[in-house]
C-alpha cells in the first residue's frame, strides 16, 4: 500500500535578509497612498475588510519608490517559475496595491483568478500575530486527528520583510488584525510566453 501526494500547493517564501529596499520609504509611500481620496472613498467589500488601494490605485509597480521591491519580486518570481517547470517563461507585474490595516481588519478567503498566473504579498510593517492563512480548496469532513495528509489550512506569521509568492488560484485570507498597524503590498503577475 502507498499514499501518493497529488497536486501540491506551492508557496515561495523568502525574507529580505539582504535589506534590498528601504522599508521605511515603502511604509511612508503606502501610508500616503492610503490617504488619497479615491482610496478613502473606496468602500470595503465582502472580500476586503481593510483599507486597500486595490482597483483604485493599483499601479504601484510603476512608482520609483517601489522599483527596488519590483526588482526583488522579479528575481524571486523567476526562481519560483523555474521550480514550477517554466524555465523559459517570464512574469510581469500587472497590478500592485497596498493594504493598510487597523486593529480588527481582515480579508475573507479569496483567490486572484483571472489573467494572473501568480500572486504575492510583501510585509512592510506588521505584528507577528497578523499573518496570512492559505486554504486547501478540497471540501471534506474535518478529521478527528490532524496530520500532514489532511490539514485544510496553513498559517504564516506576520514577518516584516517577508515575501510570499503563490499560484493565483490559491485561496488565502487574514484573521481579524490584532496589532495596531499592518502594511502590506500585494500584487498579481502575468505569465509571458518565451519569445
Q: Which domain holds residue 157?
A: 22-139+150-192
pLDDT at position 146: 85
Assess contact for 155 and 80: CB atoms under 8 A.
no
Q: Does 163 fall in a domain?
A: yes
pLDDT at position 184: 97
Report phi then psi at 37, rounded to 5. -55, -45
Q: CATH code at 32? A: 2.60.120.620
Q: Does 110 fall in a domain?
A: yes
Distance CA 29, CA 65 (A): 7
pLDDT at position 128: 96
Q: Does 5 fall in a domain?
A: no
Give me the number of domains the chain comprises.
Answer: 1
Residue 130 has pLDDT above 70, yes or no: yes
**Largest pairwise CA distance in the chain:** 61
Tell me how crowded residue 137 is: count the other CB atoms within 10 A of its CB.
13
Q: What is the pLDDT of residues 29-88, one digit of tens each?
A: 999 999 999 888 886 666 668 889 998 999 999 999 999 999 999 999 999 999 999 999
Sheet holding 171-174: strands in order across? Answer: 48-49, 106-110, 171-174, 132-135, 153-156
pLDDT at position 47: 63
Q: Does 158 fall in a domain?
A: yes
Cell of 61: 509597480
pLDDT at position 44: 67
Side-chain-side CA neighbours of residue 80 (13 Å): 24
Q: What is the pLDDT of residues 134-177, one digit of tens each?
A: 998 776 777 888 888 888 899 999 999 999 999 999 999 999 99
Amino acid at each position: 500500500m502507498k499514499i501518493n501526494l497529488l497536486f501540491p500547493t506551492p508557496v515561495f517564501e523568502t525574507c529580505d535578509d539582504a535589506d534590498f529596499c528601504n522599508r521605511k520609504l515603502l511604509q511612508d509611500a503606502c501610508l500616503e497612498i492610503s490617504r488619497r481620496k479615491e482610496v478613502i472613498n473606496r468602500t470595503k467589500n465582502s472580500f476586503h475588510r481593510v483599507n486597500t488601494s486595490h482597483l483604485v490605485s493599483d499601479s504601484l509597480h510603476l512608482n520609483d519608490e517601489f522599483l527596488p521591491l519590483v526588482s526583488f519580486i522579479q528575481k524571486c518570481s523567476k526562481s519560483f517559475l523555474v521550480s514550477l517547470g517554466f524555465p523559459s517563461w517570464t512574469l510581469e507585474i500587472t497590478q500592485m496595491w497596498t493594504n493598510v490595516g487597523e486593529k480588527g481588519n481582515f480579508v475573507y478567503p479569496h483567490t486572484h483568478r483571472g489573467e494572473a498566473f501568480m500572486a504575492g504579498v510583501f510585509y512592510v510593517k506588521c505584528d507577528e500575530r497578523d499573518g496570512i492563512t492559505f486554504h486547501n480548496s478540497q471540501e471534506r469532513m474535518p478529521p478527528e486527528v490532524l496530520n500532514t495528509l489532511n490539514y485544510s489550512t496553513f498559517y504564516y506569521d506576520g514577518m516584516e520583510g517577508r515575501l510570499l509568492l503563490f499560484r493565483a488560484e490559491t485561496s488565502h485570507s487574514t484573521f481579524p488584525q490584532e496589532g495596531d498597524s499592518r502594511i502590506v503590498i500585494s500584487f498579481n503577475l502575468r505569465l509571458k510566453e518565451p519569445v
